[in-house]
Amino acid sequence: MSEIKLSKKHGFNPSIPVCFWCGKEKNEIALFGELPKDKEAPMKAVYDYTPCRECQKKMAQGILVIEAVLGTEAVKLGNPPIDKLGSVPTGRWLVMTRQYFEDNVDDEDLKQRILKAGKTLMDPATFTQIVEQAKSLQNSKVSLD
């Protein structure tokens, strides 16, 4: 464990991490100590893409599909990339059952790579198309969050 230099004004300077994926507070406390110019840490904030326990449970129920953008759209969001290509998640995600995924993806090589990983990033247009299809079918094999 590293040492924390206490803030003269704010002591441990605590903050409550918030889940990027659902917006709920995580059951954690981040201790910042002295920040530059002895600023106070925000009471609550998103600090990373690590899901909370509730989201982790949901995400583990099938194939995780995360909507993400690249390039200028990613820059507009102002969030750090989630992968080496510079993809930035928008915050929208869904989980498909493995069977539904297998039955609805034609590209065999792509299908096998995603099944092995258990997750994939998807552009907004395709993601929206899947969401609309799932809504119209009221499909229980796709969980929308």
- For residue 11, the cross-strand partners are 7
Domain span at 103: 61-144
**Statement to judge: residues 33 and 103 lie in one domain:** no
Q: Tell me: do 33 and 70 sit in the same domain.
A: no
Residue at 55 is within a domain = no
Alpha carbons 31 and 10: distance in angstroms, whole number: 10
> Is 89 in the same domain as 44?
no
For the cut 60, the answer to whether the pLDDT of residue 140 exceeds it is no
In angstroms, rounded to a whole number, what is the distance separating the alpha carbons of residues 72 and 27? Answer: 34
pLDDT digits (tens, 9 = 90+) for 75-89: 888 899 999 999 999
**Is residue 105 a part of any domain in this protein?**
yes
Measured CA to CA, the distance from residue 32 to residue 120 in angstroms comes to: 33
Give the whole-angstrom CA distance, residue 65 versus residue 119.
6
Q: What is the pTM of this model?
A: 0.83
- Which residue did the predictor score with more confidence, 135 or 25? 25
Last residue of a domain, one of 29, 50, 71: 50
Residues 126 and 73 in one domain: yes
C-alpha 112/C-alpha 76 separation (Å) is 33
The mean pLDDT of the chain is 89
The count of structural domains within the chain is: 2
